[in-house]
Chains A and B, each alone.
Chain A
């Protein structure tokens, strides 16, 4: 029973944390200016975040296929 209460407390704490990012926004500049500027920030954030993953995964997949 004690363990159950502990789990419920952890769950409640995590649920509480989950609503914070929506209010805070990790990127303070992404919501400023006109929609075009905000769109540019968002687009560049997506490009710069996804490009290294795509490049490394693409290279890894190509090498894996090559050595099959």
Chain B
């Protein structure tokens, strides 16, 4: 029965499996938010979204911000490829991924301040409520993910980082990065 013995090299680390299960739950969470937004948008009076009198969202600036976040995901992917050779080669790319991630959150914050000044708030209507809820939930995930990326930066630089921990953190960041274009398409356009 040697053929039925699981290959130890293919065993999924607990941290990676836990992260995948967590991401599955997160996908359902965001699917619920986007589904509710889609229905609110389809049933709005007059059929115009954003509703009349509500500020328009900065589509072009956010497209640039989207590109920054995608760049961050690409840098982390390169860091993963370099890490197969050595952590020393991967560290600059991980730092780049963290820096571009911080830039994304910062530019989102600038955008929020401008929208708040224009009168778009959580209580100004369904448009504002959905915008801050969905984009805010994503921003919260991005901040946590950046904190975790920063937390693994130093162990990676010292060469003491567990590969399974790096994989689990990567899955989380890829989720944050790949979720954003969907939010952009559904909420901004």
Contact = CB atoms under 8 A, between A and B. Distances in A.
Q: Chain A interface secondary structure, helix, strand, loop or mixed?
A: helix
B32 A48 contact: yes
Given A37-B42, A44-B38, A48-B35, A67 B27 contact: no
A63 B32 CA distance: 26
B32 A40 contact: no
A48 B31 CA distance: 7
A51 B12 contact: no
9 contacts: A51-B27, A51-B28, A51-B31, A55-B24, A55-B27, A59-B20, A59-B21, A66-B10, A67-B6
A59 B18 CA distance: 12
B43 interface: yes
Interface string A42-58: 00100110011001100
B39 A44 contact: yes
Interface in A20-68: 33, 36-37, 40-41, 44, 47-48, 51-52, 55-56, 59, 63, 66-67
Contacts of B20: 59
Contacts of A56: 24
Interface residues of A, number: 16
Interface of A: 33, 36-37, 40-41, 44, 47-48, 51-52, 55-56, 59, 63, 66-67
Given A52-B28, A55-B27, A67-B6, A44 B12 contact: no
Interface residues of B, number: 15
A37 to B, nearest CB: 5
A36 B38 CA distance: 12
Interface in B6-48: 6, 10, 12, 20-21, 24, 27-28, 31-32, 35, 38-39, 42-43
A37 B39 CA distance: 8
Contact of A40 (B24, B27, B28, B42): B42
A41 B39 contact: yes
Contacts of A40: 38-39, 42-43
Nearest to B11: A67
A63 B31 contact: no
A63 B27 CA distance: 19
A57 B35 CA distance: 21
Contacts of A51: 27-28, 31
Nearest to A48: B35
